[in-house]
Amino acid sequence: MERPLIFAANWKMNHGPEEARAFAQKFLALTSAVEGRSLWFFPPAVSIAALSETLGNRPDVSVGAQNVHWEPKGAFTGAISIPMVMEVGARLTLVGHSERRHLFGETDEQAARKTRAALNAGITPLVCVGETLAERDGGRTEQVIVRQLGPIFQALQPGDWAKVLLAYEPVWAIGTGKNATPDDAAQIHELIRLELGRREVVQRVPILYGGSVNSGNVAFLLSRPQIDGVLVGGASLDPAGWAELIEQGSRSKVRPSGGYDIIAG
Ligand code: 13P
């Protein structure tokens, strides 16, 4: 069996409802559903309803939130809860994106609470981790990734990981045009798998790569067995460009999944 491939679009603060609808109409005409391939969209919260209604019936397409609060309701001005995004069609949520961490001060503990709350509510969390340039240059990549994952391991039982996905997004590669090489990315994905194995997580947790992915580099990245999909910002904003990226990525030599779990001895 070929491994599933995931192409996830993080629109960040782009495309209101009207633009989202126009995007979806164009995009649907440019792509068709392919077995084993999932296309995910993370629009701004106000566009979730419009996008999920317009993308409607395609079984390969899902819509998610970029951020949620861990509480279901209450006095949290400006925040949006998981039941609210689910009500308008979200089936997934990003958690701990680096822009949430670095621009909005979100902590590792908050990311863990959101992950726990997402699982409790029945929505799939895609948890993002990644080091800054200073951390990388200081040789602390591994330490940072392990630290970011720590509270998540504490908040989850090993069995919960069947419903969790991870994304490795090095902060220095986001929106900079400098993507990690397939070797760099594969190495960190291996590290994450080792950490999962150490915690006796035996499920095959999909790990996506994100950071300046484009239609020119996507096939190289996805040719690595460690990389299960891509999380894309800038190159997902235009329907034709995003469809082309998906097309190029789908051509990568996809290897048998062959049980990629590493369980530390
Ligand atoms: P870019 O693809 O624009 O580098 O953004 C990556 C990202 O942050 C996706 O979540």
Q: Region 74-98: what's the mean pLDDT? A: 98
- Is 43 within 8 Å of 17 (Cβ atoms)? no
Measure 179 CA to ligand 1 centroid, in angstroms: 10
| Active-site residue identified among 15, 69, 97, 189 | 97
**Ligand 1 within 6 A of CB of 129:** no
Give yes or no: 169 in active site.
yes
In eight-state DSSP terms, residue 129 is E
- Identify the pLDDT of residue 178: 84
Quick check: CB of 96 below 6 Å from ligand 1?
A: no
Question: What pLDDT is attached to residue 22?
Answer: 97
pLDDT above 50 (res 185): yes
- Give the residue with greater pLDDT, 256 vs 122: 122
Please state at what angle helix 182-198 crosses helix 141-155, rounded to 10 degrees: 40
Structure confidence by residue, pLDDT tens digits, 152-167: 999 999 889 999 999 9
Nearest alpha-carbon partner for 94 in 11, 154, 193? 11
Best mutation site among 208, 212, 230, 246 for ligand 1 pocket (most ligand atoms within 8 Å of CB):
212
Which range among 18-22, 29-33, 121-125, 252-256 shows the weakest confidence by mean pLDDT?
A: 252-256
